[in-house]
Amino acid sequence: MGCKLDLPEAPQQFQDSGQCSRHRQGPEEEGLLQRHQCTPSGGCDFPDQEIVVLHNKHSILCRRDRFLDREACEEETAEVRILRSRLLLKGSQTEMYSLLKELFPICRSITGDGVRESLGIIGRRIPLRVTEVPSGTRCFDWTVPDEWNISSASITDSKGRKTVDFADNNLHVVNYSEPFSGTLEREELMPHLHSIPSQPDVIPYVTTYYKRRWGFCLRHKDLLKLKKGKYKVEIKSSLKPGSLTFADAVIPGRTKKEIVISSYLCHPSLANDSISGVVVATHLYKYLKARKDNYYSYRFIFVPETIGAIAYLKMHKEHFLKNVYAGLVLTCLGDSGPFNYKKTRQGDHSLDRICANVLKHSGHPYSLREFWLPGSDERQYSSPGFNIPVGSLMRSVYGEFKEYHTSDDDLNFVKEKHLEETLQMYKSVIDAVESDFHYINLNPFCELHLSKYGLGSNPFKQEDPNRYFRKILTLLNFSDGKHSLCEIADKLDVPVLELAEFAKTLEQKKLMRRS
């Protein structure tokens, strides 16, 4: 039996089929907004879904099964459009957090089935090309290691109680631990145990990719509880020749010049460091795929950090050297911290100016940081041989928040509203990149007689006339083929996307052209 939602003073009902029919009503009933939360026990066809219905004389919106349907109407008021965009935004938030929750429990590493499973989940949302690089493959100065997989691991005391269990949290095992089975005295076991005394309630994240050993990670308060005696230790893992797995997806643009969007997929259950970047990248792909007439091509890369990026660059060296214009590394995007932009190695690339401009006019707190090492995969893309301008737009910076590389970097630490804020910031950056051209004023001798072209009175009615004339005259003056749109926007101290609207108008009137 479906759940019916009766709207006061309106015959519209939410039918069992979930369909929404057109209805017009009088002005006294405009703006009626009603919410209904269905419960699993209520026999509703849409359990745990909030159904939002806007009843307006022009439109009715129903949210069902995480999507919005709207019957086509001849007109739609501004209020309806605003509300619809907000509801769609909420759906995007829910979808991103759903992906985060699906990826979070998987035990990933730089190789292995956890990476493949994660790429399979992403591949159900966007088309991916998956590549396997065999163990032993030389990639510049590195070699792809043997593949690692794990099924279980535990420490059991003399009374048969499991004091540490991989099944409880995959951070409990040192990532890439070799297999081990044996009984040890506490003193023999202690060198293999890792904790953080200053954070006694968290499990640390420790790896041993290139050194054969084994170990466990646990809360320091639990380590202190280990009594003298014998402990049975078992790690059911495998380290043997296999392959390293990565994936990519390319959206062609009008030019072969590419913007790289890179995220890493090797950390186990760490929500902000690693998974948040993958989630935002996945939804940024959807945005760019739907965006019409992209100038640049976009290459999305999902790799294990460091060795994965190195292997990818080895396989695509000539392509990167010839075609890649710039890039961004996505990580640490879901916490409540201020935005931080790590500049490219060049420090003054157009991408650096654009990110600074977008952040400055975003209304969010932010900081700009110079390129530093180490870091994430920007250090591979920006190594001297490639020298690709790659920046990283983050929230809190890796290594600077106390939850970093601990069990506190969990689903409670990352909030969907922060993921959405970050996605919107990246969308603004991409839109600005797609607008940042150099222009040529086609009437460069003296200023234009603006009224001849319908520009003498401000077409942007909401804007102060003095501000309007300053912008349009400055834009025309510096459109000499030497200044980018973002450089001109910075001279005016305005958002580059705001100035892009002016440039579009002047292009349409054939007063400017792209150089």
What would the pLDDT profile of 243-269 be if each residue is shown by its tens digit?
Answer: 999 999 999 999 999 999 999 999 999
Is there a single domain that holds both residue 129 and residue 151? Answer: no
Is there a single domain that holds both residue 295 and residue 413? Answer: yes
Phi and psi torsions of 395, nearest 5°: -95, -115
Q: What confidence score (pLDDT) does residue 287 get?
A: 96
Q: Is residue 50's pLDDT more than 50?
A: no
Distance CA 71, CA 22 (A): 6
Calculate mean pLDDT across residues 120-136: 98
What does the block give as tokens for 4? 């019916």
Distance CA 267, CA 210 (A): 16
Nearest by Cα to 31 from 72, 67, 77, 70 = 77
92 band by pLDDT with thresholds 50, 70 and 90: low
456 band by pLDDT with thresholds 50, 70 and 90: confident
Percent of the chain with pLDDT over 70: 81
Is there a single domain that holds both residue 177 and residue 218? Answer: yes
Nearest by Cα to 133 from 246, 30, 47 = 246
Q: What confidence score (pLDDT) does residue 136 get?
A: 98
**Does 288 or 462 have the greater pLDDT score?**
288
Is there a single domain that holds both residue 46 and residue 182? Answer: no
Q: What confidence score (pLDDT) does residue 8 get?
A: 35
Is there a single domain that holds both residue 174 and residue 323? Answer: no
Q: Is residue 285's pLDDT more than 80?
A: yes
Q: How many domains does the chain have?
A: 4
Phi and psi torsions of 81, nearest 5°: -60, -40
Calculate mean pLDDT across residues 27-44: 34
Q: Are strands 324-330 and 258-264 parallel, antiparallel or unpaired?
A: parallel
Is there a single domain that holds both residue 155 and residue 226? Answer: yes
Calculate mean pLDDT across residues 224-249: 98
Q: What confidence score (pLDDT) does residue 434 get?
A: 97
In which element (H, E) is residue 279 found? helix 276-290
Q: What confidence score (pLDDT) does residue 47 get?
A: 33
Nearest by Cα to 234 from 162, 286, 289, 283 = 162
In which element (H, E) is residue 113 found? helix 113-123
Residue 83 domain flag: no
Range with the poorest average pLDDT among 129-138, 149-158, 460-469: 460-469
Calculate mean pLDDT across residues 364-369: 97
**Does 57 or 144 have the greater pLDDT score?**
144
In which element (H, E) is residue 217 found? strand 216-217
Distance CA 389, CA 386 (A): 9
Is there a single domain that holds both residue 343 and residue 485? Answer: no
Residue 369 domain flag: yes
Q: Is residue 37's pLDDT more than 90?
A: no
In this prediction the pTM is: 0.81
Q: What confidence score (pLDDT) does residue 19 get?
A: 35
Here the CATH number for the domain that contains residue 188 is: 3.50.30.90
Is there a single domain that holds both residue 250 and residue 127? Answer: yes
Percent of the chain with pLDDT over 90: 78
Is there a single domain that holds both residue 67 and residue 132? Answer: no
Among residues 225, 240, 255, which one ends one of the domains? Answer: 240
Distance CA 403, CA 150 (A): 25
pLDDT digits (tens, 9 = 90+) for 326-345: 999 999 999 999 999 999 99
Q: What confidence score (pLDDT) does residue 464 get?
A: 80
Q: What confidence score (pLDDT) does residue 79 get?
A: 47
What does the block give as tokens for 218? 């646990």
Q: What confidence score (pLDDT) does residue 458 get?
A: 63
How many Cβ atoms sit within 10 Å of the Cβ of residue 384? Answer: 6
83 band by pLDDT with thresholds 50, 70 and 90: low
Structural domain boundaries enclosing 486: 438-514
Range with the poorest average pLDDT among 89-103, 119-133, 439-453, 470-484: 89-103
Is there a single domain that holds both residue 185 and residue 285? Answer: no
Is there a single domain that holds both residue 323 and residue 459? Answer: no
Those residues whose C-beta lies under 8 Å from the C-beta of residue 336, and which sit 6 or more positions away, are 395, 415, 418
Nearest by Cα to 153 from 170, 136, 129, 133 = 170
274 band by pLDDT with thresholds 50, 70 and 90: confident
Q: What is the DSSP letter of 272?
A: I
Residue 128 domain flag: yes
List of long-range contacts for 189-196, beta carbons under 8 Å, 24+ apart? 189/155, 189/226, 189/231, 189/233, 192/216, 192/233, 193/217, 193/218, 193/223, 194/218, 195/219, 195/220, 195/222, 195/223, 196/220, 196/406
Among residues 202, 220, 240, which one ends one of the domains? Answer: 240
3-state secondary structure at position 420: helix
Average pLDDT over the chain, rounded to whole?
85
Residue 493 domain flag: yes
207 band by pLDDT with thresholds 50, 70 and 90: very high
Q: Is residue 68's pLDDT more than 70?
A: no
